[in-house]
Structure 1
Amino acid sequence: MLIRAKVTLYVPRGNFQIVVEHMEPAGQGALKAQFDALKAQLQAEGLFAQERKRALPAWPTQIGVITSPSGAAIRDILQVLKRRCPSIPVVIYPAAVQGADAPAQLRQALDVAIARDECDVLIIGRGGGSLEDLWAFNDEALTRAVAACPIPIVSAVGHEVDTGLTDFAADLRAPTPSAAAELVSPDLSVVTQRLGGLHRRLRWVMAQQLRTPQERLRHLSQRLRSPRQSLEQSSQRLDELQGRLQRHMQQRLALAQSRLRPNQQRLARLSPERLLADRQQRLQTLEKRLPQPLLRLIQQQQVQLGNLGKRLHTASPLETLGRGYSITFKGDEAVRSVSQLQAGDTLTTRLADGEVSARVERVQGSDKGSAPE
Structure 2
Amino acid sequence: MNILDGRDGPAGGVSRPARDILSPSQLNTLARDLLEGSFPLIWVEGELSGVSRPGSGHLYFCLKDARAQVRCAMFKPKSSWLKFVPREGMRVLARGRLTLYEARGEYQLVLDHMEEAGEGALRRAFEELRARLTAEGLFEQARKRPLPAHPRRLGVLTSPSGAAVRDVLSVLARRFPLLHVEILPVLVQGANAAAQITTMLRRASASGRYDLLLLTRGGGSLEDLWAFNDEQLVRAIAASAVPVVSAVGHETDFSLADFAADLRAPTPSAAAELLAPSREDLSRRLRALEARVGNLQRQQLRAAMQRADRAALRLQALRPQARLQMLQRRQLDALRRLTAAWKRRIEVDRASLRHADTVLRAAHPQRRLARLRERLAAMAVRPQSAIARRLSSDALHLRGLARSLHAVSPLATVARGYAILQREDGRVVRSVLDVVAGDSVDARLSDGQLRLRVEDAP
User: Normalising TM by the smaller chain, what interval?
Assistant: 0.5 to 0.7
Q: Does 1:132 align with 2:216?
A: no
Residues 207-222 of structure 1: pairs in structure 2 closer than 5 A: 207-215=298-306, 217=308
Aligned to 1:159: 250
Q: Secondary structure at the match of 1:59?
A: coil
Q: Which amino acid aligns with 1:85?
A: F
TM-score between the two structures when normalised by the length of structure 2: 0.44
Query: Residue 223 and residue 156 in structure 1: after superposition, are their counterparts in 2 closer, same or farther (change >3 A)?
Result: same
Q: CA deviation at 1:212?
A: 3.2
The CA deviation string for residues 337-364 of structure 1, in whole angstroms up to 9 with x for no partner, is xxxxxxxxxxxxxxxxxxxxxxxxxxxx
Q: Does 1:34 align with 2:125?
A: yes
- Output the CA distance in 2 between the equivalents of 1:188 and 1:57: 16
Query: Residue 36 and residue 214 in structure 1: after superposition, are their counterparts in 2 closer, same or farther (change >3 A)?
Result: same
8 Å contact kept, 2:187–2:196: yes
Q: Does 1:66 align with 2:157?
A: yes
Q: Does 1:116 align with 2:207?
A: yes
Q: Does 1:54 align with 2:54?
A: no
8 Å contact kept, 2:206–2:241: no
Q: Does 1:93 align with 2:184?
A: yes
8 Å contact kept, 1:81–1:182: yes
Aligned to 1:301: none
Pairwise CA RMSD of aligned residues? 2.8
Aligned to 1:45: 136
The CA deviation string for residues 313-351 of structure 1, in whole angstroms up to 9 with x for no partner, is xxxxxxxxxxxxxxxxxxxxxxxxxxxxxxxxxxxxxxx
Residues 260-339 of structure 1: pairs in structure 2 closer than 5 A: none
Q: Secondary structure at the match of 1:131?
A: coil
Residues 234-249 of structure 1: pairs in structure 2 closer than 5 A: none
- Output the CA distance in 2 between the equivalents of 1:63 and 1:20: 57
Q: Which runs of 5+ in 2 are unaligned?
A: 1-45, 49-58, 63-68, 80-85, 87-114, 317-458
Query: Residue 2 and residue 139 in structure 1: after superposition, are their counterparts in 2 closer, same or farther (change >3 A)?
Result: farther
- Output the CA distance in 2 between the equivalents of 1:136 and 1:30: 15
8 Å contact kept, 2:156–2:183: yes
Greater relative contact order structure (CA < 8 Å, 6+ sep): 1
- Output the CA distance in 2 between the equivalents of 1:213 and 1:120: 43
Residue 170 of structure 1, aligned match among 261, 271, 279: 261
Query: Residue 6 and residue 48 in structure 1: after superposition, are their counterparts in 2 closer, same or farther (change >3 A)?
Result: closer
Q: Secondary structure at the match of 1:91?
A: strand
Identity within the alignment, %: 53
8 Å contact kept, 1:2–1:25: no
Q: CA deviation at 1:205?
A: 2.5
- Output the CA distance in 2 between the equivalents of 1:117 and 1:156: 22
Q: Secondary structure at the match of 1:156?
A: strand
Q: CA deviation at 1:146?
A: 0.8
| Deviates most, 95-104 or 109-118 | 109-118
8 Å contact kept, 2:248–2:255: yes
The CA deviation string for residues 262-317 of structure 1, in whole angstroms up to 9 with x for no partner, is xxxxxxxxxxxxxxxxxxxxxxxxxxxxxxxxxxxxxxxxxxxxxxxxxxxxxxxx
Q: CA deviation at 1:222?
A: 10
Q: Does 1:75 align with 2:166?
A: yes
8 Å contact kept, 1:63–1:121: yes
Q: Secondary structure at the match of 2:128?
A: helix
Q: CA deviation at 1:125?
A: 1.7
- Output the CA distance in 1 between the equivalents of 2:189 and 2:228: 9
Q: Secondary structure at the match of 1:150?
A: coil
The number of aligned residues is 218
- Output the CA distance in 2 between the equivalents of 1:19 and 1:41: 33
- Output the CA distance in 1 between the equivalents of 2:258 and 2:311: 67
Query: Residue 204 and residue 34 in structure 1: after superposition, are their counterparts in 2 closer, same or farther (change >3 A)?
Result: same
